[in-house]
Structure 1
Amino acid sequence: MNLIILLLPIIAIVLMFRSQKKRQQQMQKMQTALEPGAGVRTIGGLYAQVKAVNDETVELEIAPGVVTHFTKSAIAAVLDPAEYDAIINGRPADDELSEASDEDAAIEPADEQPLSLSKDGAEKAEAEGGAPASK
C-alpha cells in the first residue's frame, strides 16, 4: 500500500513531462513548416500572412503593405487557406452557408406589434382591444 502511494506522484510527473515534450515537438514542427504565403494566427489572436521566414523571426503582413516582425514562438497556428480566407474576408465556410440558409427559411416574420412601456402605448393597446393596462 505504501509503495502505491509513493509511485503515484512519480507516474504523474512522468506523464506530465511526456505530454509537455509532445506539445513542444508539435510546435517546433509547425514552426519549421512555416512558408511565405501561409495564413497564421499569433498567440495574441492576430491573423496575418507570412511574407518571409528568418532564423528566429517571421515577417507577417497584418494589412496590405504593413509588415511586422514576430518571433517564431509567437505563431500559435498555421491555418488552411480556406479557413484563413473565411476569417479575413468574412466569408462563411460552405457548411455554415447551408446551415444559415436552412435557418433563414424556418424563421417567419411576426405580425405582432412591439410592446411599449410608456403610458400612451398602454392606452393605445387597450383601445385597440389589447390587454387592459394596470394603473
Structure 2
Amino acid sequence: MTILLFVMLGLFVFMMFRKNKKTQQQQAEMQSKFAPGVDVMTSFGLFGRIVSIDDAENKVVLELSPGNEATVHRQAVTKILDKVEEEAPVVPNDASSLTAAGADAPAANETPEETIARLNKEDKKDN
C-alpha cells in the first residue's frame, strides 16, 4: 500500500515538473518571436504593436494607437497576434440593403477608419 502511495506521489511530481517545463518552452518560443512591428496582446488586455525592446531592463514599448505608446514589462506580453488577411466586403447587386435614411446613413460593413472619417465630416458640418 505504501509503495502505491509513493508511486502516485512520484507520478504527481513528475507531471508537475513536466507541465512547468512545457510552459517555459512555450514562453521562450514566444519571446523569440518578439520583434518591432509584431502585433501583441498583454496580460491585462492591451493590444498594440511592438516599437522597441530593451533586453537589459526587460521592457517592451508598445504603440497602442498612433501617437500613444506604453512601456510594459516583457513578461506582460502574453500573446502574439496572427495577422488576418482582410476580405473584401460583399456588396449586394440589388437595392435591398438601402435604407430610407438616405446616403448619409452608415453602412453595416463600414470599417473603423471609414467610421472615423464619416464622424469627422459630420462634426465639421455641425460647426
User: Above 0.5 in TM-score?
Assistant: yes
Find out whether 1:19 has 2:19 as its counterpart.
Answer: yes
TM-score (norm 1): 0.58
Give the root-mean-square deviation of aligned CA atoms.
2.1
Gaps of 5+ in 1: 84-92, 99-135
Match of 1:59 among 53, 57, 61: 61
Q: Which ranges in structure 2 are unaligned for 5 or more consecutive residues?
A: 91-127
Which residue pairs with 1:36 in the alignment?
Answer: 36
User: What number of residue pairs does the alignment pair up?
Assistant: 87
Contact 1:52–1:60 (8 Å) recurs in 2: yes
Q: CA deviation at 1:54?
A: 1.6
Aligned to 2:45: 45
Larger radius of gyration, structure 1 or 2?
1
Give the drift of 1:57: 1.1
Provide the identity percentage: 31
Whole-Å separation in 2 of the counterparts to 1:26 and 1:41: 16
After TM superposition, what 4+ stretches of structure 1 lie above 4 angstroms from structure 2? none
Aligned AA for 1:32? S
TM-score (norm 2): 0.61
* Structure-2 residue corresponding to 1:89: none
Deviation at 1:2, TM superposition (A): 2.3
